Amino acid sequence: MNQQQNPTATGQEPGPSLSRTDRNDPGAVAAAPVHCGRIIPVRTLDFSEVQDRVNHAVAQAAVEGRRVHACECGFLQETPLPEGAVPAIVPDGESMLFRPFFTRRILAAAGRVETAEWSFDQALADAGPLVSWNAQEQAQRLCALDADLEAERWRLDQAVEALRDELRLAVRHGVPISLLARETALDEADVQELLRPADVPAGLRGNETGPALAAAC
């Protein structure tokens, strides 16, 4: 989503682009991006965004440690969050309005976990017979099965981590643990286990949090 500047016709080297983001250094503090001749502000969730396209882009950037800048013309650009910063993507006083938005994302993430679990179970169930009179053939079957199971386990782990990221983002923005549990078809204890303290920035733990996050920690 980054805008690039072209060298001038005079052949001179272009100066540093204010709208360029170094995506390889997530801890860097990027210069304020510019578009349409002015600095473009950080975008938060917008309740009037009917199709939620930009809202989902904002939320996805937040779980990945970035923020979205939005120009009035529709141009979007991501920049890395300063190291240690906690993304706040809900406008002040509007947390209740966005509970359905967060729960939809969590429900989708939980569905991906369920799909990954099914795929892992199928890899186990579909494994061909491993017993063979040929030792080399049996070793090859074992190696193939191990590779398939490792790949499926990796997909499952990735899906669980994505669900944890979505839960953490929702809790930070005031979604109750009870609602998260209901949307994911998990017990509240399971949700709290996913929201282990190590996943939550230190500034949001204990007495410094709202009731929902304090319960999760």
Looking at residue 158, its pLDDT comes to: 93
Whether residue 77 contacts residue 40, with contact meaning beta carbons closer than 8 Å, is answered with yes
Q: How many CA atoms does the CB half-sphere of 55 hold within 13 Å?
A: 18
Looking at residue 127, its pLDDT comes to: 65
Looking at residue 143, its pLDDT comes to: 77
Per-residue tokens: 165: 């990221």
Looking at residue 13, its pLDDT comes to: 40
Looking at residue 30, what DSSP letter applies?
A: P
Name the β-bridge partners of 35: 38
Angle between helices 135-172 and 99-125 (to 10 degrees): 170
Distance from C-alpha of 151 to C-alpha of 91, rounded to nearest angstrom: 40
Q: Is 132 helix (H, G, I), strand (E, B) or coil?
A: coil
Q: What is the pLDDT along the chain (217 residues), one digit of tens a residue?
A: 444 333 333 444 433 333 333 334 444 455 778 888 889 888 899 988 867 888 999 999 999 888 889 888 888 888 888 877 777 899 988 989 999 999 999 999 999 999 999 988 888 776 655 555 666 766 667 777 777 888 888 999 999 999 999 999 999 898 888 888 888 888 888 888 888 665 444 444 443 333 343 333 3
Distance from C-alpha of 66 to C-alpha of 87, rounded to nearest angstrom: 8
Looking at residue 104, its pLDDT comes to: 92
Question: Backbone phi, then psi, for 68, in 5-degree steps?
Answer: -110, 130
- Nearest of 170, 200, 201, 199 to residue 184 by alpha carbon: 170
pTM: 0.67
Looking at residue 27, its pLDDT comes to: 45
Q: Is 40 helix (H, G, I), strand (E, B) or coil?
A: coil
Dihedral angle computed from the Cα positions of residues 84, 109, 152 and 65, in that order, rounded to the nearest 10 degrees: -20
What residues contact residue 3 under an 8 Å CB cut-off, 6+ apart? Answer: 17, 19, 20, 33, 35, 75, 77
